[in-house]
């Protein structure tokens, strides 16, 4: 796939996350865990931010982000307003980082010391994985918001 398509799709989906956050009417509801689930929308948002900064921003944009994955699922690191600001910044980080990947590098190996998900993982394979991971959790966040009738 063309690297520009990844930029467009990540931009689109992160903007959708921003709209989901804006759909929550109060701060507590974003942290509510629904029956039968284990994570709130807030924790999923934190997880996505950490994931994309770690696996796209660090290796390609050299943003020097230090991830605390445990805190993503246990702490309240952001208010809804901070989520929006951080997600808007993330769009820029992703766009900048992806612009640093030469087109011919898409078929090269993604560094296993950063992330190991498949024996033959290429940069493009990992980007596709990260995009589908974002979409999966975005669906969960959307469902939670609608379940709460916000």
* Domain residue ranges of the chain, discontinuous segments joined by +: 3-147
**pLDDT tens digits, 24-81:** 989 999 999 999 999 999 999 999 999 999 999 999 999 999 999 999 999 999 999 9
pLDDT at 150 over 80: no
The contacts of residue 34 (CB under 8 Å, 6+ apart) are 144, 147, 148
Token readout for 84 is 């929006």
Find out whether 57 and 101 touch, Cβ atoms under 8 Å: no
Domain 3-147 homologous superfamily, CATH: dinb family like domain (1.20.120.450)
pLDDT at 1 over 80: no
Helix axes 3-23, 80-99, angle to 10 degrees: 180
Read off the pLDDT of each residue in 97-105 and give the average, rounded to a whole number: 96
**pLDDT tens digits, 2-20:** 999 999 999 999 999 999 9
How far, in Å, CA of 20 to CA of 150, rounded? 10
**What's the predicted TM-score (pTM) here?**
0.95
How far, in Å, CA of 133 to CA of 51, rounded? 9
Residue-level pLDDT at 17: 98
More confident of the two residues 84 and 25: 84
DSSP 150: -
Token readout for 49 is 């931010």
Give the pLDDT band of residue 116 (cuts 50, 70, 90): very high
């Amino acid at each position: 796939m063309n690297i520009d398509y990844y930029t467009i799709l990540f931009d689109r989906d992160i903007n959708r996350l921003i709209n989901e956050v804006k759909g929550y009417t109060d701060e507590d509801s974003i942290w509510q865990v629904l029956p039968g689930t284990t994570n709130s929308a807030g924790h999923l948002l934190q997880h996505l931010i950490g994931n994309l900064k770690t696996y796209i921003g660090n290796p390609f944009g050299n943003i020097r982000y230090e991830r605390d994955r445990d805190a993503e699922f246990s702490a309240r690191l952001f208010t809804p307003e901070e989520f929006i600001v951080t997600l808007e910044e993330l769009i820029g980080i992703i766009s900048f980082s992806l612009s640093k990947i030469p087109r011919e590098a898409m078929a090269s190996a993604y560094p296993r010391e950063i992330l190991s998900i498949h024996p033959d993982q290429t940069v493009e394979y990992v980007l596709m994985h990260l995009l589908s991971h974002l979409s999966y959790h975005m669906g969960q966040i959307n469902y939670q918001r609608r379940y709460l009738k916000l």
